[in-house]
Amino acid sequence: MSDSAVLHIKGRVLAGPDDVREDLWVVGGRVSWTRPAGARDVTTIEGWALPGLVDAHCHVGLDAHGAVDEATSEKQALTDREAGTLLIRDAGSPADTRWIDDREDLPRIIRAGRHIARTRRYIRNFAHEIEPEDLVAYVAQEAKRGDGWVKLVGDWIDRETGDLASCWPRGAVEAAIAEAHRLGARVTAHCFAEESLAPLVEAGIDCIEHATGLTEETIPLFAERGVAIVPTLVNIATFPQLAAGGDEKYPRWADHMRRLHERRYDTVRAAYDAGVPVYVGTDAGGSLAHGLVAQEVGELVKAGIPALDALSATAWGAREWLGRPGLSEGAPADLVVYEADPRADVRVLGTPRRVILRGRVVG
């Protein structure tokens, strides 16, 4: 498609949860709600359109063993794009993926730098592994390297106790989060366990990944402080398999992981019901495949979140949370077109009809 060509999206354009329009025009790679005067080279695409989907917990440039090469990173990004994911919050990667920003055909990425973990308390080759006295310095470093986010590992297995345990003293995280905020970055943390949550929220954290340890005691704290969660339920589904691998050596940890898994839907629904912001993230790129955004939306619905709110968690609401435009006048034309109304059945998200990125049809 030439730069002078015009796209006409015709049918139902979901500019917002309750803002449904019949036509959208793409002119010069940007959204217009008005037919351009004298447009001749027009391509019409019919269907139901959404803003490009958001995967708010994804890892481009990472696999189960650590950083990957550019060809593998490209394949990961293309897989997400084909699934309709056009905006990624990369929740930690040891690879330098800045080159992706120069590719007009690849999704936009908001980076959180590299994971910051306690020494020998995370997956090998993933994170900066440090001690608490260095936490502020490393948070400052990753805040400057990222795109407005920093990622901590809030808890992990403690091999001495044989169970999940917090990684950081409270004073260290308070100072680190304050430094990130001073530098204009938000902070999120990987957390499975119960005990790590309240200290992080009280220290001013902005988001928690996974959040399987939420309880009726901590959910109100999240709601009061407006701390978001990204549940990554497609990842939590792997907990029984992980637990089976740890039964012999770490039985307490294995039992804990199973219990967190068993109550996962109740946990997410209770958080949603309390007013905690919930967003879609797949945790792709470690051991999970890319392109799972539709499955994660389906998991949120299975947990009891209404379909429209589950859609917002990967579309309008997610983009607003991350400070990126949706389908507004003059915004970059990043959108996905479907055969049917995804509000009626979120499974429609699994089969995009057309993917349009930066105003060009790419899938």
pLDDT tens digits for range 128-162? 999 999 999 999 999 999 999 999 999 999 999 99
Would you say the C-alpha torsion 228, 231, 232, 235 has a positive or negative sign? Answer: positive
pLDDT tens digits for range 306-322? 999 999 999 999 999 99
DSSP 247-315: TTT-HHHHHHHHHHHHTHHHHHHHHHHTT--B-----BTTTBPS--HHHHHHHHHHTT--HHHHHHTTS
Cα–Cα distances in Å, from 95 out to 40, 69, 90? 44, 8, 11
Asked if the model's pLDDT at residue 39 lies above 80, the reply is no
Q: Give, for 145, the enclosing helix (H) or strand (E).
A: helix 135-145
Asked if the model's pLDDT at residue 1 lies above 50, the reply is no
For the chain, give the mean pLDDT: 96
Asked if the model's pLDDT at residue 25 lies above 80, the reply is yes
Asked if the model's pLDDT at residue 3 lies above 80, the reply is no
- For 35, which DSSP code? P
Percent of the chain with pLDDT over 70: 99
Asked if the model's pLDDT at residue 177 lies above 60, the reply is yes
Which of these ranges, 29-38, 49-58, 70-79, 185-194, has the smallest mean pLDDT?
29-38
- The mean per-residue pLDDT over the stretch 286-303 comes to 97
* pTM of full prediction above 0.75: yes
- The mean per-residue pLDDT over the stretch 75-98 comes to 97
Determine the Cα–Cα distance for residues 289 and 327; give it in Å rounded to an integer. 28
Asked if the model's pLDDT at residue 361 lies above 80, the reply is yes
Asked if the model's pLDDT at residue 40 lies above 80, the reply is no
- The mean per-residue pLDDT over the stretch 34-48 comes to 90
